Amino acid sequence: MRVWLPTVLLAALLGGLSVGMSVLEPLFAWVQPDTSRVIYERESFAFLLYNHLMLVVVSAVIGTIAAVAGGIFATRPAGRDFLPLVSQIASIGQTFPPVAVLALAVPVLGFGEAPILLALILYGLLPILRNTLAGLEGIDPAVREAALGMGMSPLQVLLRVELPLAGKVILAGIRTSVTINIATAAIGSTIGARTLGDPVIAGLVNGNTAYVLQGAILIGLLALTADSLFEALERNWDRHSGRVRPPVFR
Protein backbone atom coordinates (compact mmCIF):
# COMPACT_ATOMS: atom_id res chain seq x y z
CA MET A 1 0.00 0.00 0.00
CA ARG A 2 2.89 2.32 0.75
CA VAL A 3 3.86 2.52 -2.92
CA TRP A 4 0.59 4.30 -3.69
CA LEU A 5 0.98 6.91 -0.94
CA PRO A 6 2.88 9.58 -2.94
CA THR A 7 0.38 9.28 -5.78
CA VAL A 8 -2.58 9.69 -3.45
CA LEU A 9 -1.02 12.69 -1.69
CA LEU A 10 -0.07 14.43 -4.93
CA ALA A 11 -3.47 13.74 -6.45
CA ALA A 12 -5.15 15.15 -3.36
CA LEU A 13 -3.01 18.29 -3.52
CA LEU A 14 -3.73 18.66 -7.24
CA GLY A 15 -7.46 18.20 -6.76
CA GLY A 16 -7.53 20.49 -3.74
CA LEU A 17 -5.68 23.30 -5.48
CA SER A 18 -7.73 23.04 -8.64
CA VAL A 19 -10.90 23.53 -6.58
CA GLY A 20 -9.62 25.91 -3.94
CA MET A 21 -6.89 28.00 -5.56
CA SER A 22 -8.42 31.09 -3.95
CA VAL A 23 -7.03 29.93 -0.61
CA LEU A 24 -3.65 31.06 -1.87
CA GLU A 25 -4.95 34.47 -2.97
CA PRO A 26 -2.79 36.43 -0.49
CA LEU A 27 0.32 34.71 -1.83
CA PHE A 28 -0.49 35.58 -5.44
CA ALA A 29 -1.50 39.11 -4.46
CA TRP A 30 1.98 39.48 -3.01
CA VAL A 31 3.55 38.23 -6.24
CA GLN A 32 1.36 40.41 -8.45
CA PRO A 33 0.45 43.42 -6.29
CA ASP A 34 -0.57 45.83 -9.05
CA THR A 35 -3.70 44.10 -10.30
CA SER A 36 -7.18 43.52 -9.00
CA ARG A 37 -7.59 40.10 -10.65
CA VAL A 38 -5.26 37.78 -8.87
CA ILE A 39 -6.90 34.39 -9.45
CA TYR A 40 -7.51 33.18 -13.01
CA GLU A 41 -11.26 32.99 -13.44
CA ARG A 42 -11.98 32.68 -17.18
CA GLU A 43 -12.48 28.95 -16.71
CA SER A 44 -12.52 26.95 -13.50
CA PHE A 45 -9.27 25.16 -12.78
CA ALA A 46 -11.23 21.96 -12.19
CA PHE A 47 -12.62 22.13 -15.73
CA LEU A 48 -9.20 22.84 -17.22
CA LEU A 49 -7.67 19.99 -15.22
CA TYR A 50 -10.43 17.63 -16.35
CA ASN A 51 -9.98 18.64 -19.97
CA HIS A 52 -6.21 18.40 -19.81
CA LEU A 53 -6.45 14.98 -18.20
CA MET A 54 -8.97 13.71 -20.74
CA LEU A 55 -6.74 14.75 -23.65
CA VAL A 56 -3.80 12.90 -22.12
CA VAL A 57 -5.76 9.81 -21.08
CA VAL A 58 -7.60 9.43 -24.39
CA SER A 59 -4.41 9.88 -26.40
CA ALA A 60 -2.54 7.48 -24.11
CA VAL A 61 -5.22 4.80 -24.42
CA ILE A 62 -5.52 5.08 -28.20
CA GLY A 63 -1.76 5.44 -28.62
CA THR A 64 -1.07 2.40 -26.44
CA ILE A 65 -3.54 0.23 -28.31
CA ALA A 66 -2.19 1.34 -31.69
CA ALA A 67 1.47 1.08 -30.70
CA VAL A 68 1.19 -2.31 -29.00
CA ALA A 69 -0.84 -3.66 -31.91
CA GLY A 70 1.74 -2.29 -34.35
CA GLY A 71 4.60 -3.69 -32.30
CA ILE A 72 2.96 -7.11 -32.15
CA PHE A 73 2.26 -7.04 -35.89
CA ALA A 74 5.84 -6.15 -36.77
CA THR A 75 7.22 -9.00 -34.64
CA ARG A 76 4.91 -11.74 -36.00
CA PRO A 77 6.04 -13.86 -38.97
CA ALA A 78 3.42 -12.14 -41.15
CA GLY A 79 4.69 -8.65 -40.37
CA ARG A 80 8.43 -9.27 -39.99
CA ASP A 81 9.14 -7.56 -43.31
CA PHE A 82 7.91 -4.30 -41.81
CA LEU A 83 10.01 -4.50 -38.65
CA PRO A 84 13.04 -2.49 -39.87
CA LEU A 85 10.85 0.30 -41.20
CA VAL A 86 8.59 0.39 -38.14
CA SER A 87 11.52 0.61 -35.76
CA GLN A 88 13.10 3.32 -37.93
CA ILE A 89 9.86 5.32 -37.83
CA ALA A 90 9.73 4.94 -34.06
CA SER A 91 13.25 6.31 -33.65
CA ILE A 92 13.26 8.98 -36.36
CA GLY A 93 9.79 10.17 -35.36
CA GLN A 94 11.07 10.96 -31.90
CA THR A 95 13.59 13.43 -33.30
CA PHE A 96 10.64 15.60 -34.37
CA PRO A 97 10.12 18.20 -31.65
CA PRO A 98 6.63 17.81 -30.11
CA VAL A 99 5.87 21.53 -30.51
CA ALA A 100 6.58 21.33 -34.22
CA VAL A 101 4.31 18.32 -34.58
CA LEU A 102 1.61 20.18 -32.68
CA ALA A 103 2.07 23.22 -34.91
CA LEU A 104 1.94 21.12 -38.08
CA ALA A 105 -1.41 19.65 -37.02
CA VAL A 106 -3.05 23.07 -37.32
CA PRO A 107 -2.58 23.69 -41.07
CA VAL A 108 -3.86 20.17 -41.70
CA LEU A 109 -6.77 19.98 -39.28
CA GLY A 110 -7.42 23.51 -38.05
CA PHE A 111 -7.63 24.84 -34.51
CA GLY A 112 -9.22 23.12 -31.53
CA GLU A 113 -9.12 19.82 -29.68
CA ALA A 114 -9.12 17.47 -32.68
CA PRO A 115 -5.69 18.44 -34.07
CA ILE A 116 -4.22 18.38 -30.57
CA LEU A 117 -5.63 14.95 -29.90
CA LEU A 118 -4.28 13.66 -33.19
CA ALA A 119 -0.85 15.18 -32.59
CA LEU A 120 -0.77 13.75 -29.06
CA ILE A 121 -1.76 10.30 -30.29
CA LEU A 122 0.75 10.25 -33.14
CA TYR A 123 3.61 11.64 -31.12
CA GLY A 124 2.74 9.69 -27.99
CA LEU A 125 2.64 6.32 -29.67
CA LEU A 126 6.28 6.53 -30.78
CA PRO A 127 7.91 5.82 -27.40
CA ILE A 128 5.36 3.10 -26.71
CA LEU A 129 6.02 1.56 -30.11
CA ARG A 130 9.76 1.66 -29.58
CA ASN A 131 9.49 0.07 -26.16
CA THR A 132 7.02 -2.57 -27.36
CA LEU A 133 9.49 -3.57 -30.06
CA ALA A 134 12.39 -3.52 -27.60
CA GLY A 135 10.43 -5.55 -25.07
CA LEU A 136 9.28 -8.20 -27.53
CA GLU A 137 12.62 -8.42 -29.32
CA GLY A 138 14.47 -8.58 -26.01
CA ILE A 139 12.88 -11.88 -25.01
CA ASP A 140 15.35 -14.77 -25.00
CA PRO A 141 14.60 -16.71 -28.22
CA ALA A 142 14.93 -19.94 -26.24
CA VAL A 143 11.86 -18.96 -24.22
CA ARG A 144 9.72 -18.55 -27.32
CA GLU A 145 11.16 -21.73 -28.81
CA ALA A 146 10.40 -23.69 -25.65
CA ALA A 147 6.88 -22.28 -25.39
CA LEU A 148 6.05 -23.26 -28.95
CA GLY A 149 7.85 -26.57 -28.68
CA MET A 150 5.89 -27.53 -25.56
CA GLY A 151 2.63 -27.08 -27.41
CA MET A 152 1.45 -23.52 -26.76
CA SER A 153 -0.43 -21.95 -29.63
CA PRO A 154 1.05 -18.74 -31.06
CA LEU A 155 -1.70 -16.77 -29.32
CA GLN A 156 -0.95 -18.45 -25.98
CA VAL A 157 2.74 -17.70 -26.44
CA LEU A 158 1.91 -14.04 -27.06
CA LEU A 159 -0.57 -13.62 -24.20
CA ARG A 160 1.02 -15.78 -21.51
CA VAL A 161 4.71 -15.42 -22.26
CA GLU A 162 5.67 -12.55 -24.55
CA LEU A 163 3.39 -9.78 -23.34
CA PRO A 164 3.92 -10.49 -19.62
CA LEU A 165 7.69 -10.51 -20.21
CA ALA A 166 7.66 -7.33 -22.31
CA GLY A 167 5.05 -5.66 -20.09
CA LYS A 168 7.40 -3.73 -17.88
CA VAL A 169 9.27 -2.22 -20.83
CA ILE A 170 5.97 -1.32 -22.50
CA LEU A 171 4.79 0.29 -19.26
CA ALA A 172 7.97 2.40 -19.20
CA GLY A 173 7.18 3.49 -22.75
CA ILE A 174 3.67 4.55 -21.71
CA ARG A 175 5.23 6.51 -18.85
CA THR A 176 7.49 8.42 -21.23
CA SER A 177 4.61 9.01 -23.59
CA VAL A 178 2.32 10.36 -20.87
CA THR A 179 5.05 12.63 -19.50
CA ILE A 180 5.63 14.14 -22.94
CA ASN A 181 1.93 14.45 -23.66
CA ILE A 182 1.12 16.27 -20.43
CA ALA A 183 3.70 18.87 -21.46
CA THR A 184 2.54 19.01 -25.07
CA ALA A 185 -1.13 19.30 -24.12
CA ALA A 186 -0.23 22.30 -21.97
CA ILE A 187 1.30 24.00 -25.03
CA GLY A 188 -1.90 22.99 -26.85
CA SER A 189 -3.51 26.05 -25.25
CA THR A 190 -1.89 28.10 -27.98
CA ILE A 191 -3.93 26.31 -30.64
CA GLY A 192 -7.24 26.47 -28.88
CA ALA A 193 -7.45 23.54 -26.50
CA ARG A 194 -8.75 24.26 -23.00
CA THR A 195 -5.99 22.91 -20.82
CA LEU A 196 -4.01 23.97 -17.77
CA GLY A 197 -1.76 25.82 -20.20
CA ASP A 198 -4.51 28.47 -20.55
CA PRO A 199 -3.68 30.44 -17.39
CA VAL A 200 0.03 30.38 -18.27
CA ILE A 201 -0.55 31.69 -21.79
CA ALA A 202 -3.09 34.26 -20.59
CA GLY A 203 -0.67 35.38 -17.90
CA LEU A 204 2.19 35.70 -20.38
CA VAL A 205 0.05 37.69 -22.79
CA ASN A 206 -1.29 40.03 -20.09
CA GLY A 207 1.87 40.22 -18.03
CA ASN A 208 0.12 38.64 -15.06
CA THR A 209 2.68 36.51 -13.23
CA ALA A 210 0.06 35.23 -10.78
CA TYR A 211 -1.88 33.54 -13.61
CA VAL A 212 1.34 32.05 -14.95
CA LEU A 213 2.23 30.65 -11.54
CA GLN A 214 -1.21 29.14 -10.98
CA GLY A 215 -1.13 27.33 -14.29
CA ALA A 216 2.49 26.27 -13.89
CA ILE A 217 1.91 24.88 -10.40
CA LEU A 218 -1.08 22.81 -11.51
CA ILE A 219 0.72 21.52 -14.61
CA GLY A 220 3.73 20.58 -12.52
CA LEU A 221 1.55 18.79 -9.96
CA LEU A 222 -0.30 16.92 -12.70
CA ALA A 223 2.98 15.72 -14.17
CA LEU A 224 4.31 14.64 -10.77
CA THR A 225 1.07 12.82 -9.95
CA ALA A 226 1.18 10.93 -13.23
CA ASP A 227 4.86 10.12 -12.77
CA SER A 228 4.39 8.80 -9.25
CA LEU A 229 1.44 6.74 -10.46
CA PHE A 230 3.66 5.04 -13.02
CA GLU A 231 6.42 4.65 -10.46
CA ALA A 232 3.96 2.80 -8.23
CA LEU A 233 2.68 0.70 -11.14
CA GLU A 234 6.21 -0.32 -12.03
CA ARG A 235 6.99 -1.31 -8.46
CA ASN A 236 3.78 -3.26 -8.26
CA TRP A 237 4.72 -5.03 -11.46
CA ASP A 238 8.04 -6.08 -9.94
CA ARG A 239 6.33 -7.39 -6.85
CA HIS A 240 3.83 -9.42 -8.84
CA SER A 241 6.40 -10.98 -11.09
CA GLY A 242 8.36 -11.61 -7.92
CA ARG A 243 11.65 -10.50 -9.30
CA VAL A 244 14.30 -8.73 -7.39
CA ARG A 245 14.46 -5.19 -8.69
CA PRO A 246 17.82 -4.60 -10.32
CA PRO A 247 19.47 -1.32 -9.35
CA VAL A 248 18.46 0.75 -12.35
CA PHE A 249 19.06 4.47 -12.45
CA ARG A 250 16.44 6.36 -14.29
Distance CA 113, CA 118 (A): 9
Using CB under 8 A, which of 156, 206, 236, 245 touches another protein?
156
Using CB under 8 A, which of 45, 128, 215, 233 touches another protein?
215
Using CB under 8 A, which of 103, 118, 122, 232 touches another protein?
103
Given the complex with another protein, which of 24 and 106 has the nearer CB atom? 106
Distance CA 42, CA 3 (A): 37
DSSP state of 249: -
Within residues 105-144, the interface with another protein by CB under 8 A covers 106-108, 111, 140-144
Reported as type and span, the H/E element at residue 43 is none
Give the residue ranges of DSSP H helices in 76-162: 83-93, 98-109, 113-137, 141-149, 154-156
How many residues bind another protein, per CB under 8 A?
66
Residue type, 134: A
List the one residue out of 213, 189, 37 whose CA is nearest residue 106: 189
- Can you give the binding site for another protein, defined by CB under 8 A? 31, 81-82, 84-85, 88-89, 92, 95-100, 103-104, 106-108, 111, 140-153, 156, 161, 164-165, 179, 182-183, 186-187, 190-191, 197, 200-201, 203-204, 209, 212-213, 215-217, 219-220, 223-224, 227, 241-243, 249-250
